[in-house]
Amino acid sequence: MEERSLTLAAGRLAITQPAVSYALGRLRKLFDDALFVRTPEGMMPTQTAERIAVPIGRALLAVRDALNETEPFDPGTSDREFRLCMSDIGEQVFLPSLCERLQTLAPAIKLSSELVPVAMVVERMRMGQLDFAIGNLPTLKTTTRYQSLFREQYACMTRKRDELPAGKISVQDFLALSHVSVTSTDSSHVAIEDTLASRGLNRHIALRVPHFTVVPQILRHTGWMVTLPEGVAHALNHSDDFVIYPLPVEMPGVESTVHWHGAYDADAGNRWFRAFLFETLRR
């Protein structure tokens, strides 16, 4: 179900592919259903497989919790892999400090980071395919366990040039410029647009992009402006090519949070890693 592949499933189970095929054959007889159908996208589950995956997943979690009760977690020796979901700018801001500390505290632990649509995060966590989501993710607060890392204000950033005002920018100057809107997986761009609209302010959006990392290159070649969390602005301005202004429009701050699934509250490794996240990233 998770790997969509007999070969990959066999690798995770540490058995041969024929053994997986044999076991799948027995399951097909038991449920009187094909369960998985070979397609160009991999072994796709049937409706029966989708239906039974939920109770089987709960049973496997219960077994895993029982085993973890007697298996202590030692970060100094563990080679466990923790799977993180964050945006491209989240990787740029968070991963360097996480990796730096991890190589000292837990040198054998592995990390993987991927961009997962917010609507899929909880299911991926429930199935054990994802351990943590980090970022501005308010819609996950009702469906996951979470803890706040920090809150920051919005800022605006544009290429340095002589005609720009010093210190701060007026609302009129802000609206006179063309803007880049970053429609990332978090809710920042929605909050910005909603707040401006509620004040009757309309800015000209010259470009919409799904990621932050391309923004510096765009700003270097234009006179456009981007609105983004203050910490992100400073992370993107390591070359000091840009001027960063306080946002001239009053707007609620943005909160970065760590999310995990409640099914793993008691997991020793999960507990250790989320404490590691808080200690490393909290401001």
Domain ranges of the chain: 6-70, 81-151+256-281, 155-252
| CATH topology match: 6-70 vs 155-252 | no
Each residue's pLDDT, cut to its tens digit, for the chain (283 residues) gives: 888 999 999 988 889 999 999 999 999 999 999 999 999 989 999 999 999 987 887 788 778 767 766 667 899 999 999 999 998 888 989 999 999 999 999 999 999 998 888 888 998 898 788 999 999 898 899 999 999 999 999 999 999 999 999 889 999 999 999 999 998 766 566 778 888 888 889 999 999 998 888 999 999 999 999 999 999 999 999 899 999 999 999 988 889 999 999 988 888 899 999 999 999 999 8
Q: Which CATH architecture has domain 6-70?
A: Orthogonal Bundle (1.10)
| Pairwise CA distance, residues 192 & 154, whole Å | 9
Instruction: Give the homologous superfamily in CATH for domain 155-252.
Output: Periplasmic binding protein-like II (3.40.190.10)
Q: Is 111 exposed, middle or buried (0-12, 13-18, 19+ CB in 10 A)?
A: middle
Per-residue pLDDT at 70: 62
Per-residue pLDDT at 252: 86
Burial 206-236 (b: 16+ CB within 10 A, else e): eeeeeebeebbeebeeeebbbbbbbbbbebb
Per-residue pLDDT at 192: 85
Which class is domain 81-151+256-281? alpha beta
Provide the whole-model pTM: 0.75
* Whether 221 contacts 108, CB under 8 Å: no
Per-residue pLDDT at 181: 92
Per-residue pLDDT at 13: 86
Per-residue pLDDT at 129: 84
